[in-house]
Amino acid sequence: MKIQRAHLLLCHGTACSSSASENIKDALEKELEHYGIADQIRVIPTGCFGFCAMGPVMMVYPEGIMYCKVKPEDAAEIVEEHLVKGRTVQRLLYKEPGEETRLADIDDIEFFRYQRREVLHNCGHINPEDIREYIARDGYLALGKVLTGLQPREVIDIVIESGLRGRGGGGFPTGRKWEYAAQTDAAEKYIICNGDEGDPGAFMDRSIMEGDPHAVLEGMAIAGFAVGASQGYIYVRAEYPIAVERLDIAIKQARELGLLGKNIFNSGFHFDVQLRLGAGAFVCGEETAMLNSIAGKRGEPRPRPPFPAVKGLFFKPTIINNVETLANLPRIILNGAQWFNGIGTEKSRGTKVFALAGKVNNTGLIEVPMGTSLRTIIYDIGGGIPKGRKFKAAQIGGPSGGCIPEQHLDTPMDYDSLLELGAMMGSGGLIVMDESDCMVDIAKFFLEFTQDESCGKCTPCRVGTKRMHEVLVRITIGEGKEEDIGLLRSMAEDIKDASLCGLGQTAPNPVLSTLRFFEDEYMAHIRDKRCPAGVCARLLRYEIIPEKCTACSVCARVCPVDAITGIPKKPPYEIHQDICIKCGACQAKCPFGAIAKV
Amino acid sequence: MKSLDELKKIKEETLASMRIREEEPTVRVAVGMSTCGIAAGARDTLNALMEEINKRNLSGVTVITTGCAGMCQREPLVDITEKDGSTYSYQNITPEKAKVLVSQHLVNKKPVFEWVLATRGLCREGAAERSGD
């Protein structure tokens, strides 16, 4: 293999790909060709670096310099200045918000400083479409060690001892789950990788599948050996085309090298993996619904027990593990249970990947040790709240989770602390909200999502979420009654108790959680017919402040429904509330700040 | 895949070409590629270095380009920095000399003192005599 003098690692995750990283690659290669140095320098597409807010991101080795927000037009300058003349292109370096100095070394950047990238250690460092690069970073060595030196029981014991818990939401101990399946006697068993990541704002699993697909395959093979399965399925959303493509390539390459297939490492162990594409139904992330979907049936859940570990796919014992859980396994086998035990908190070991989204400066993909405080995540890594606004709450666990308000910012992020707060780890979607977000509106949004995604099989979920959503709509348009609070609470409890699967059982959580911490905001909507955050349009009024109005007539001209009248140069103008649609155009355009939202 | 050795072989083959991405200390060769360097033929020097390094499969060597050191009349300048930080600056390195540097300095670990312009750090004997030339 050829030795080059520089490697340009260019992020080809979904976020950077949508900002044309493929075009940047072409432009760079064209320039390298132009200078006749194409054989000395390689442009390598990689998975997600995590710093999506600054994307497309590119790392230049051997110097280890990071360039941000690279455009195809920058290719000529990068090649001529950096790669020919050896001068860093200063203007493309990262600058901390509010600071002047530009930083070249990623270790100096706050976003990376507090992170510990274990599961993501290959993301952004290797070409995910080249199995050899994965192997060069000790890939498939864990599988090799397991198959050539360990008994299945020993593998299960290592995983139990490591304390690894499921990263998909519930946090069930992975090793215990395997134990059930291993103890069940059956001719065939299955391993399923749950890549049906459906929470709004979550993209951890997508990034792992895109950036390090072989880690998932290796984890599945290790799980297969431990429980005695020889067939695996990856259930991945069709909406993740890049992940699907890279997994497909990874499976083909692993088969070519005999890392999937018959008699791997000459151990007599056979294992193969197939992809199953989901059509995007949220409920198919629930394990029993997923089993039906993989078997070609309608994606509806069924009661448990029997649990899939005993009776799963095609009625055979089946282990369903999340993408991130599986990607942890090779590292645990290689470094040992003790190593994993040393990271995180007593009951939540290891690291956790979070997708940081919403009202935060550095949106992106981060990985921190379990137990890191929300404050560190939002302020140190996330760089705080944009526009100088105030933090209000963070929604964790998507539509199944809850919110964490300001007074609990120092809560350690681990499974149990979050449950105590009425939230849950979920898969790791973390949406930050500021003072301009209305908590009733947020609850309504998530309930709209779950009632839309309810499969309809059981009544509490099908009808209950619909009725709860109606109550929330009523509150946000100023027609709520004081009894609605009690009604929401009692319906929420009933739906949680009586629903068939996890979707219904957790659907009321956003309502319960916002009620717990922001009941006063609900009451403001109900009693005062007022939305404190100024989000619920029906409860808002735009008014002209007579002292500030100069009768310049700008507002009347921008109003799309002609709700503002007045005589030029004779202040004040007037907004007719019966016509006003509360679009806010007048306030945005008024040069004198004479229009107030009340 | 039949054995761990087979896996190890793929690892080592691939790692050779990935080494520059790992942040481990390596021997660093810096070629002056500012306008003066390029005018003096540094491009050909760089190409010759890369060709020779590939021919000998020297994966532990990092080649970078660098700016003007101020001694434009001695270009092309090539600096070789060893793992301990000691640096040998070579002057007037033509493509032919570049190939000799690879074989003598990088492979045989014998600096070519005759072409040394200056040294920094703990350089081997003989170099000091010519430092500051």
Whether pLDDT at B126 is above 60 = no
Q: Which residue has the tokens 């050539």?
A: A148
Cβ-defined contact of B59 to A141 (cutoff 8 Å): no
CB A595 within 8 Å of CB A587: yes
Whether pLDDT at B129 is above 50 = no
List, run by run, the mean pLDDT of 10-residue segments along chain A (598 residues).
88 90 94 92 93 92 92 95 92 86 84 93 94 96 96 97 91 95 94 93 94 98 97 96 96 97 96 95 94 95 93 95 97 96 94 95 94 95 93 93 94 92 88 95 95 95 96 95 96 96 94 96 94 89 92 94 92 92 91 90
Interface residues of B toward A, Cβ cutoff 8 Å, are 1-4, 7, 10-11, 13-18, 20-21, 23, 26, 28, 30-31, 33-34, 38, 43, 46-47, 50, 53-54, 57-59, 61-67
For position B21, what pLDDT does the model report?
Answer: 84
Measure in Å the smallest separation between the Cα of A250 and chain B Cα atoms.
15
**What is d(CA A60, CA A63) in angstroms, rounded to the nearest whole number?**
6
Residue of B nearest to A5 (CA): B63
A1 closest CB neighbour out of B13, B34, B63: B13
Measure in Å the smallest separation between the Cα of B115 and chain A Cα atoms.
23
Cβ-defined contact of B50 to A141 (cutoff 8 Å): no
Contacts of B58 in chain A (CB under 8 A): 3
A135 closest CB neighbour out of B11, B23, B67: B11
For position B124, what pLDDT does the model report?
Answer: 64
Q: Which of A41, A20, A17, A15 is nearest to A30 (CA)?
A: A41
Whether pLDDT at B83 is above 90 = no
Measure in Å the smallest separation between the Cα of B56 and chain A Cα atoms.
10
CB pairs below 8 Å between A and B: how many? 105
In the structure encoding, which two tokens stand for residue A383, read together? 């760089």
> What percent of chain B has pLDDT above 70?
90
Compute CA A13 distance to the chain's CA centroid, rounded to the nearest angstrom.
13
In chain B, what are the domains? 24-130 (3.40.30.10)
Residue of B nearest to A9 (CA): B21
Helix (H) or strand (E) holding A11: strand A6-11
For position A432, what pLDDT does the model report?
Answer: 96
Helices (H), A63-130: 75-77, 110-113
Residue of A nearest to B13 (CA): A1
In chain A, what are the domains? 6-109 (3.40.30.10), 131-341 (3.40.50.11540), 351-434 (3.10.20.600), 439-527 (1.20.1440.230), 541-597 (3.30.70.20)
Residue of A nearest to B48 (CA): A40
The mean of the pLDDT values for chain B is: 86
Cβ-defined contact of B3 to A64 (cutoff 8 Å): no
Helix (H) or strand (E) holding A321: strand A318-322
Select from B8, B9, B12, B14 the residue whose CB has the most chain A CBs within 10 Å, as the one to mutate to test that interface: B14
What is the amino acid identity at position A577?
Q
Contacts of B107 in chain A (CB under 8 A): none
Digit-coded pLDDT (tens) for B92-115: 999 999 999 999 999 998 999 999
**What is d(CA A206, CA A395) in angstroms, rounded to the nearest whole number?**
20
For position A1, what pLDDT does the model report?
Answer: 64
Helices (H), A336-482: 337-341, 374-375, 415-420, 439-453, 459-476
For position B131, what pLDDT does the model report?
Answer: 44
Interface residues of A toward B, Cβ cutoff 8 Å, are 1-7, 9, 36, 39-40, 61-64, 83-87, 125-126, 132-133, 135-136, 138, 140-141, 144-145, 148, 257-259, 264-266
Distances (CA, A) of A252 to A138, A226, A246, A482: 19, 23, 10, 60
pTM of the model: 0.90
B50 closest CB neighbour out of A40, A132, A136: A40
Contacts of B16 in chain A (CB under 8 A): 1, 3
Q: Tell me the torsion sign for CA atoms A61, A66, A70, A76.
A: negative
pLDDT bin (cut points 50, 70, 90) of residue B91 is very high
Q: Which of A121, A15, A30 is nearest to A78 (CA)?
A: A30
Measure in Å the smallest separation between the Cα of A326 and chain B Cα atoms.
21
What letter would DSSP give residue A366? E
